[in-house]
Amino acid sequence: MARGPGAPSTWGAVMELGNGNGVASLVCLSDGTTSLYVSTGGGMIGGGAHEAVVRANEAFLAMTAEHLSGMTRGLDHALPAEGRVIIRALTYDGPFTFEEAEDDLGYGRSPLSPVFYAAHGVLTELRLVQEKLQ
Protein backbone atom coordinates (compact mmCIF):
# COMPACT_ATOMS: atom_id res chain seq x y z
CA MET A 1 0.00 0.00 0.00
CA ALA A 2 1.46 3.37 -1.01
CA ARG A 3 1.84 6.04 1.65
CA GLY A 4 0.23 9.35 0.74
CA PRO A 5 1.30 12.74 2.07
CA GLY A 6 0.33 13.20 5.70
CA ALA A 7 -0.74 9.55 6.01
CA PRO A 8 -0.24 7.91 9.42
CA SER A 9 2.51 5.30 9.73
CA THR A 10 -0.02 2.55 10.51
CA TRP A 11 -2.18 1.60 7.54
CA GLY A 12 -3.83 -1.43 9.14
CA ALA A 13 -4.32 -3.33 12.37
CA VAL A 14 -5.62 -6.76 13.27
CA MET A 15 -6.79 -7.90 16.70
CA GLU A 16 -7.25 -11.62 17.24
CA LEU A 17 -9.02 -12.94 20.33
CA GLY A 18 -8.59 -16.57 21.36
CA ASN A 19 -11.58 -18.23 22.98
CA GLY A 20 -12.70 -21.79 23.64
CA ASN A 21 -14.42 -22.00 20.26
CA GLY A 22 -11.60 -20.64 18.10
CA VAL A 23 -10.49 -17.14 17.14
CA ALA A 24 -12.26 -13.89 16.33
CA SER A 25 -10.27 -11.55 14.06
CA LEU A 26 -10.97 -7.83 13.73
CA VAL A 27 -9.40 -6.29 10.63
CA CYS A 28 -9.17 -2.49 10.19
CA LEU A 29 -7.51 -0.71 7.27
CA SER A 30 -6.84 2.99 6.74
CA ASP A 31 -9.26 3.17 3.79
CA GLY A 32 -12.10 2.45 6.26
CA THR A 33 -12.34 -1.26 5.52
CA THR A 34 -13.54 -2.89 8.73
CA SER A 35 -14.44 -6.56 9.11
CA LEU A 36 -14.84 -9.17 11.81
CA TYR A 37 -14.16 -12.83 11.04
CA VAL A 38 -14.94 -15.76 13.33
CA SER A 39 -13.07 -19.03 12.83
CA THR A 40 -16.20 -21.07 13.50
CA GLY A 41 -17.96 -19.27 10.63
CA GLY A 42 -19.69 -15.95 10.31
CA GLY A 43 -18.62 -12.47 11.17
CA MET A 44 -19.33 -9.11 9.61
CA ILE A 45 -17.90 -7.47 6.51
CA GLY A 46 -18.66 -4.03 5.13
CA GLY A 47 -18.40 -2.15 8.42
CA GLY A 48 -16.59 0.65 6.61
CA ALA A 49 -19.88 1.71 5.04
CA HIS A 50 -20.95 3.11 8.42
CA GLU A 51 -19.55 6.43 9.67
CA ALA A 52 -19.41 5.44 13.35
CA VAL A 53 -17.47 2.29 12.48
CA VAL A 54 -15.01 4.28 10.35
CA ARG A 55 -14.40 6.73 13.22
CA ALA A 56 -13.76 3.85 15.62
CA ASN A 57 -11.49 2.23 13.02
CA GLU A 58 -9.46 5.47 12.75
CA ALA A 59 -9.17 5.67 16.55
CA PHE A 60 -7.92 2.06 16.70
CA LEU A 61 -5.31 2.71 14.01
CA ALA A 62 -4.16 5.92 15.71
CA MET A 63 -3.86 4.23 19.10
CA THR A 64 -1.96 1.34 17.53
CA ALA A 65 0.46 3.81 15.90
CA GLU A 66 1.01 5.53 19.27
CA HIS A 67 2.00 2.22 20.89
CA LEU A 68 4.34 0.75 18.27
CA SER A 69 7.28 1.14 20.67
CA GLY A 70 5.66 -1.47 22.93
CA MET A 71 5.37 -3.98 20.10
CA THR A 72 7.87 -6.35 18.50
CA ARG A 73 8.95 -5.75 14.92
CA GLY A 74 8.00 -8.63 12.66
CA LEU A 75 5.01 -10.74 11.82
CA ASP A 76 4.04 -13.90 13.65
CA HIS A 77 1.33 -15.99 12.00
CA ALA A 78 0.40 -17.90 15.16
CA LEU A 79 -3.16 -17.77 16.43
CA PRO A 80 -3.82 -16.78 20.04
CA ALA A 81 -4.60 -19.46 22.60
CA GLU A 82 -7.74 -19.24 24.70
CA GLY A 83 -7.65 -16.11 26.87
CA ARG A 84 -4.89 -14.50 24.80
CA VAL A 85 -4.97 -11.54 22.41
CA ILE A 86 -2.63 -10.80 19.51
CA ILE A 87 -2.59 -7.37 17.90
CA ARG A 88 -0.72 -6.82 14.67
CA ALA A 89 0.12 -3.37 13.33
CA LEU A 90 0.63 -3.05 9.58
CA THR A 91 2.92 -0.09 8.94
CA TYR A 92 4.86 1.39 6.03
CA ASP A 93 8.00 0.31 7.92
CA GLY A 94 6.83 -3.31 8.21
CA PRO A 95 4.64 -5.26 10.63
CA PHE A 96 4.68 -5.13 14.42
CA THR A 97 3.07 -7.60 16.85
CA PHE A 98 2.29 -8.04 20.50
CA GLU A 99 0.53 -10.72 22.52
CA GLU A 100 -0.94 -10.42 25.99
CA ALA A 101 -3.46 -12.09 28.28
CA GLU A 102 -6.95 -10.73 27.61
CA ASP A 103 -7.50 -10.13 31.34
CA ASP A 104 -4.33 -8.05 31.64
CA LEU A 105 -5.37 -5.92 28.65
CA GLY A 106 -8.99 -5.64 29.76
CA TYR A 107 -8.20 -4.67 33.34
CA GLY A 108 -5.62 -2.06 32.34
CA ARG A 109 -2.64 -4.05 33.63
CA SER A 110 -0.78 -3.71 30.34
CA PRO A 111 0.80 -0.60 28.83
CA LEU A 112 -0.96 -1.66 25.61
CA SER A 113 -4.44 -1.72 27.16
CA PRO A 114 -5.43 1.50 25.31
CA VAL A 115 -4.94 -0.32 21.99
CA PHE A 116 -7.19 -3.15 23.21
CA TYR A 117 -9.84 -0.65 24.35
CA ALA A 118 -9.73 1.13 20.97
CA ALA A 119 -10.22 -2.19 19.17
CA HIS A 120 -13.19 -2.92 21.40
CA GLY A 121 -14.58 0.47 20.40
CA VAL A 122 -14.67 -0.85 16.82
CA LEU A 123 -16.35 -4.08 17.95
CA THR A 124 -18.99 -2.05 19.79
CA GLU A 125 -19.77 0.02 16.70
CA LEU A 126 -19.99 -3.13 14.56
CA ARG A 127 -22.40 -4.66 17.09
CA LEU A 128 -24.56 -1.53 17.07
CA VAL A 129 -24.74 -1.59 13.27
CA GLN A 130 -25.68 -5.26 13.31
CA GLU A 131 -28.42 -4.61 15.91
CA LYS A 132 -29.92 -1.88 13.70
CA LEU A 133 -29.97 -4.24 10.72
CA GLN A 134 -31.89 -6.96 12.58
pTM of the entire structure? Answer: 0.92
User: pLDDT band for position 5 (50/70/90)?
Assistant: low
Q: Count CB-CB contacts under 10 A for residue 121.
A: 18
Give 36's Cβ-side CA count (13 Å radius): 19
Closest by CA to 107, choosing from 98, 99, 116, 118, is 116
Each domain of the chain, given as residue ranges in start order, spans 11-133
pLDDT at 58: 95
- Name the 3-class secondary structure at 89: strand
For residue range 93-117, what is the model confidence (pLDDT) as tens digits?
999 999 999 999 999 999 999 999 9
Task: Give SS3 for 5.
Answer: coil
Determine the 3-state secondary structure of 32 from DSSP.
coil
Pairwise CA distance, residues 113 & 59, whole Å: 14
List the beta strands (DSSP E) in 39-133: 43-44, 72-73, 84-91, 94-101
Tell me which residue of 86, 78, 80 sits closest to 19, measured CA to CA. Answer: 80
Report the pLDDT value the prediction gives residue 132, as an integer from 0 to 100: 85
Angle between helices 51-66 and 113-133 (to 10 degrees): 170
